[in-house]
Amino acid sequence: MEISQSWSKISLDDRSPQLNTPHSLEISQGERGHLLAVEMNENGFKGEADTKIQVRGLNKVSDKGDSILNNVNVDIPRGVIMGIIGPSGSGKSTFLRALNRLWEPPKNTVFMDGDDICGVDVLSLRRKVGMLFQLPVLFEGTVADNIRYGPKLKGKKLSDNDVYKLLTLADLDSSFFNKSGGELSVGQAQRVALARTLANEPEVLLLDEPTSALDPISTQNIEDVMVKLKKDQKITIVIVSHSIKQIQRIADVVCLLVDGDIVEIMKPDQLSESKHPMALRFLQLSS
Ligand SMILES: Nc1ncnc2c1ncn2[C@@H]1O[C@H](COP(=O)(O)OP(=O)(O)OP(=O)(O)O)[C@@H](O)[C@H]1O
Ligand SMILES: [Mg+2]
């Protein structure tokens, strides 16, 4: 059974008195009671097979003493698209950057496949956990050079055929192979950046407003690719977006982050049932 199909109803339980207990997504129907329940082992948390990334008690305080992330606890299920929404300055990018150590989280706060990411070699972590930003930055050289960059660092040369396959995955045709970055639209460059990230065979993709600078057609292309990557390659995707409609189109689950706090985790079509004023405001403004 597909995970998304089993999520017939997800409820947020944030009332647990236990320290470090995550917001748990609870399935009220189906045979599996707690999809995202966790267990402890001697090294800390060990995830169930269905959890790709666990975040436990993640805090960040600014130099001035302001709270940027406030005891964030969340489980990101394997092979789903999780959307992150929230007002500007609420900590979405900071949260995302913690997941591949672009911002170094404290030890024992972020776990991938049950292991503390702070204990993993940072470059191999970033290969496994790729990231795309609002605006793509391509390196000098051709599209093919860009796509070959990551594997080359590991001493692996991608064949032309490998590059064509990656172009196809990112919804670009073979004519892009020899183009330079300067010849591309922002939407095309974003798809090249995606192909370059995919060349590292990531298990997780972090996307920070990846389509906010794109036209609706380029946006749809990227969304289609995301859904395909999840479906065909079982990649876990975490996407920050200001577009509720985008989240509703592609995400399986959505987190609402307000002032550094995760205040809601729900299925996108349950947003209208949220009692949180910010969730309702997002919904109103998106229609
Ligand atoms: N390096 C930093 N030093 C100090 N404060 C920072 C730093 N990075 C982010 N902040 C602050 O942390 C808070 C969260 O920033 P963040 O960029 O994560 O928000 P965001 O939700 O991604 O916002 P937006 O939707 O505008 O991109 C903001 O108040 C920001 O000013
Ligand atoms: Mg941001």
Query: Which token pair is 35?
Result: 């999809």
| Count of other CB atoms within 10 angstroms of residue 43 | 12
Residue 245 CA to residue 160 CA, distance in Å, equals 37
Per-residue pLDDT tens over the stretch 153-201: 999 999 999 999 999 989 899 999 999 999 999 999 999 999 999 999 9
Q: Is the pLDDT of residue 41 over 80?
A: no
Tell me which residue has tokens 């024992």: 108
Q: Looking at ligand 1, which atom is closest to the CA of residue 257?
A: 21
Provide mean pLDDT across the span 29-52.
45
d(CA 278, CA 274): 9
88 CA to middle of ligand 1, Å?
A: 8
Write the residue with the smallest CA distance to atom 7 of ligand 1. Answer: 62
Q: Kindly list the protein residues whose Cβ atom lies closer than 6 A to any atom of ligand 1.
A: 62, 68, 86, 88-94
Percent of the chain topping pLDDT 70: 83
Average pLDDT, the chain: 84
Q: Tell me the CA–centroid distance for residue 63 and ligand 2, in Å.
A: 18
Ligand closest to Cα of 62 equals 1
Higher per-residue pLDDT: 265 or 23: 265
Which SS3 state, helix, strand or coil, does residue 64 take?
coil
Helix 186-198 to helix 160-169 angle (10° resolution) is 120
* 8 confidence band (pLDDT: 50, 70, 90): very low
The predicted structure's pLDDT at residue 275: 82
Considering only CA atoms, which residue is closest to atom 12 of ligand 1?
68
Nearest-10 Cα torsion for 118, 241, 51, 121: -20
Does the structure show a pLDDT above 50 at 258? yes
φ and ψ at residue 54, rounded to 5 degrees: -115, 135
Which structure tokens are listed for 26? 């609870």
Nearest CA to ligand 1 atom 6: 62
Residue 287: per-residue pLDDT = 57
The four Cα atoms 170, 172, 174, 175 give a dihedral, to 10 degrees, of: -150
Q: How far apart are CA 89 and CA 96, in angstroms?
A: 13
